[in-house]
Structure 1
Amino acid sequence: MPDNISLNTSFAIEAHHLAKTFVTQAGVIRLFNDLSLAIQRGESVAIIGQSGAGKSTLLSLLAGLDAPSTGSVKLLGTDISTLSDTDGSAWRAKNLSFIFQSFHLLPELTALENTQLPLDIRGDKQATEKAASLLDQVGLSDRQGHYPAQLSGGEQQRVAIARAFVTHPTILFADEPTGNLDTETGENIITQLFELNAQQDTTLVLITHDAALASRCDRQFRLEQGLLIEGVR
């Protein structure tokens, strides 16, 4: 069996002995060292920590967007760091989706066009119909033709959620999805996120600073001083 394939495919994510260091003018910064984590398929996991703890960097490592200084990550049994840039990008597009704090919508595209974009890239002939259905599920059926600048922050994040789920990803990474929203809007967004996550049986990795939000996941971890500690206090 090739080295980049795991025998245990019940895991969505397997991170083994991760370390990440950065060289700066002030010296070497060691963000974390010997960090390991295993997440089952269909599980929801929250990673909480203070600003600057390295949560977003850890997400990038777990998603295969960045390479660890040492250690390895397998997604759905595959170490995508062994793939070429083209194959790795294609693998992520097929299996992963992302939701970010700043929405990352293309300003020149409507809500519908932003939502169907991942399907358009795949050449899906039903892209428009599938995107319209997801926008309807998040309560934006009457805003499909609006551009991001014409939408509120909450509406933009709902478009981002629809776009993330329109491909039925196996793993979804959400990085501070309510960070730019007021409390009431954020709660509504999270309700929709977890409802769609349950419907599609997606593996969810949620990065947040909010302990109450983290408590809605199956498991919670705190990233603190380079260590990943299970449980949120």
Structure 2
Amino acid sequence: MTTKAQLAEQLLAASIHEIKNRFGLMFSQLDTLLTTLPLNEQHQHDAEHIKSEAQFVGSELVRVLASYKALMYGDTGNDTLEHDQQFVLDFLEEKIARHSNTVRAHALQLTYECDEDLDGFFDPALISIILDTAIYNAVKEHARTLLLSAEKRVAEGSAETLLIRIEDDGPGFPQSVLEDTGNPAAPGHTRPLRDDGHSTGLGLYFARTLIAQHHAGGRQGQIHLGVSDHLGGASVTLILPQ
């Protein structure tokens, strides 16, 4: 028998799926229309900005559904995540490609650094949602350069940890939300996301809830905020036990 919670999830998922399909149709129609119009540079930029904002809305809808599942089932022991092996380079390249509209609309430089043979076990949909949140936060803070990177670290006892990091050249996080932890899994200038969701943005608060659903070897996924050593702005590090 279907419970009210299951029915609510099914209705929410169906609604989000339908809305995303409509957004896809809008994108297709908009692209067709733009090819037939003699737009000047400013109008072309405005059109790209509209497409970027529409893409953000679509990503937010997916995040809403994932957050709902995590909040509903995260403490019940039900595994709602797919921890499959992923080739990280392919994952990062796809992430950058999906943000092509955002890059054009905001004149961004979005690059990545990653070994070709790096792999890891994680839910790509979940990590994509968290990275999307970080990218849009950086854009909102008027960052112009963003760097995605990934690496593996081996702690004592041969426990592997995959680190996926996004850095920008924006103003960074307020000092009030950064706290020292001394966590050896994270590099220098890396601090945890506080439980105060309002101080760092509700999106990152839910991102913390989502990544906590990643488990491996008795360890839990984490998000750390910090200062970028490369670009001087914000740094968001996803710590994924393997």
Structure 1 length normalisation: TM-score?
A: 0.31
More strand by share: 1
* Larger gyration radius, structure 1 or structure 2: 2
Structure with larger RCO (C-alpha < 8 A, sep 6+): 1
Structure 2 length normalisation: TM-score?
A: 0.30
